[in-house]
Chains A and B, each alone.
With several copies, the nearest count.
Chain A
Amino acid sequence: MKLEEAQKVIEGLIFAAPYPISSEELGTILEFEPIIVERLIERIREQFANSGLMIRTVAGGYQFVTRPELVSWIDKLGRPLISAPLSLAGLETLAIIAYQQPLTKSHVEQIRGVRSDSAISTLLDRELIMEFGRKDGPGRPILYGTTQKFLVHFGLRSLDDLPDRPKVPRIGEISE
Chain B
Amino acid sequence: MGYLVRLEVYEGPFDLLLNLIERDQIDILDIPIAKIAQEYLAYLKQMQERDLVVSGDFLVIAATLLRIKSTMLLPRNPEFEEVSEFEDPREELIAQLLEYKFYKEVAQTLVDRNQQATAMYPRLHYESNEKKLPIYTNPVGDSSIHQLASLYQQVLHVVKESAHVHEVQRRISLSECMQELRVRLIAGHETTFTQLVGARDRYHTIVTFLAILELVKKREIIIIQHQDFGEIYLELIQDQEVVL
Query: Min CB distance, A63 to chain B, in Å?
Result: 6
User: Are the CB atoms of B11 and A163 closer together than 8 Å?
Assistant: no
Contact with A along B4-30 (1 / 0, CB 8 A): 000000011111000000000000011
Closest A residue to B56 using CB positions:
A115
Residues of B near A58 (CB, < 8 A) are 117
User: Are the CB atoms of B152 and A154 closer together than 8 Å?
Assistant: no
Closest B residue to A80 using CB positions:
B134
Contact with A along B93-120 (1 / 0, CB 8 A): 0111011101111111111011011111
Within 8 Å of chain A (Cβ to Cβ): is B151? Answer: yes
The CA-CA distance from A145 to B30 in the complex, in Å, is 34
Within 8 Å of chain A (Cβ to Cβ): is B125? Answer: yes
User: Are the CB atoms of B199 and A106 closer together than 8 Å?
Assistant: yes
Task: Please provide the chain B residues from 49 to 73 with a CB less than 8 Å away from any CB of chain A in the complex.
Answer: 55, 57, 61
Within 8 Å of chain B (Cβ to Cβ): is A99? Answer: yes
User: Are the CB atoms of A154 and B117 closer together than 8 Å?
Assistant: yes
Within 8 Å of chain B (Cβ to Cβ): is A86? Answer: yes
User: Are the CB atoms of A165 and B102 closer together than 8 Å?
Assistant: yes
Residues of B near A8 (CB, < 8 A) are none
Residues of A near B30 (CB, < 8 A) are 174-175
A64, A80, A113, A174 — most chain B CB neighbours (10 Å) = A113
Q: Given A88-B107, A92-B107, A154-B140, are A171 and B94 neighbors across the interface (CB < 8 Å)?
A: yes
User: Are the CB atoms of B135 and A155 closer together than 8 Å?
Assistant: no
Within 8 Å of chain B (Cβ to Cβ): is A26? Answer: no
User: Are the CB atoms of A65 and B120 closer together than 8 Å?
Assistant: yes
Q: Which DSSP category, helix, strand, loop or mixed, fits chain B's interface?
A: helix
User: Are the CB atoms of B114 and A154 closer together than 8 Å?
Assistant: yes
Contact with B along A83-97 (1 / 0, CB 8 A): 111101101101110
Within 8 Å of chain A (Cβ to Cβ): is B163? Answer: yes
User: Are the CB atoms of A113 and B123 closer together than 8 Å?
Assistant: no
Q: Which single member of B88, B99, B102, B118 contacts A171 (CB below 8 Å)?
A: B88
Interface residues on B, range: 35 or more
Q: Given A65-B122, A81-B134, A154-B145, are A112 and B140 neighbors across the interface (CB < 8 Å)?
A: no
Closest A residue to B28 using CB positions:
A174
Q: Given A95-B151, A171-B88, A175-B88, are A86 and B135 neighbors across the interface (CB < 8 Å)?
A: no
Q: Given A126-B139, A127-B139, A171-B90, are A162 and B199 neighbors across the interface (CB < 8 Å)?
A: no
Residues of A near B140 (CB, < 8 A) are 86, 91, 94, 126, 128, 150, 153-154
User: Are the CB atoms of B123 and A64 closer together than 8 Å?
Assistant: yes
Q: Given A111-B155, A125-B133, A175-B163, are A155 and B114 neighbors across the interface (CB < 8 Å)?
A: yes
Task: Please provide the chain A residues from 96 to 147 with a CB less than 8 Å away from any CB of chain B in the complex.
Answer: 96, 98-99, 106, 109-116, 125-128
Q: Which single member of B141, B152, B157, B198 contacts A95 (CB below 8 Å)?
A: B152
The CA-CA distance from A120 to B125 in the complex, in Å, is 27
Query: Min CB distance, A110 to chain B, in Å?
Result: 7
User: Are the CB atoms of A95 and B103 closer together than 8 Å?
Assistant: yes
Within 8 Å of chain A (Cβ to Cβ): is B240? Answer: no
* A and B contact pairs by CB, cutoff 8 A, 26 listed: A12-B121, A15-B121, A65-B121, A79-B121, A81-B134, A83-B136, A85-B114, A85-B143, A92-B155, A95-B109, A112-B103, A113-B13, A126-B136, A126-B139, A128-B139, A153-B138, A153-B139, A154-B117, A161-B113, A163-B105, A163-B145, A168-B157, A168-B160, A171-B29, A171-B90, A174-B29
6 further interface pairs, Cβ-Cβ under 8 Å (given A91-B147, A95-B155, A163-B149): A83-B137, A91-B148, A95-B103, A163-B105, A163-B109, A175-B163
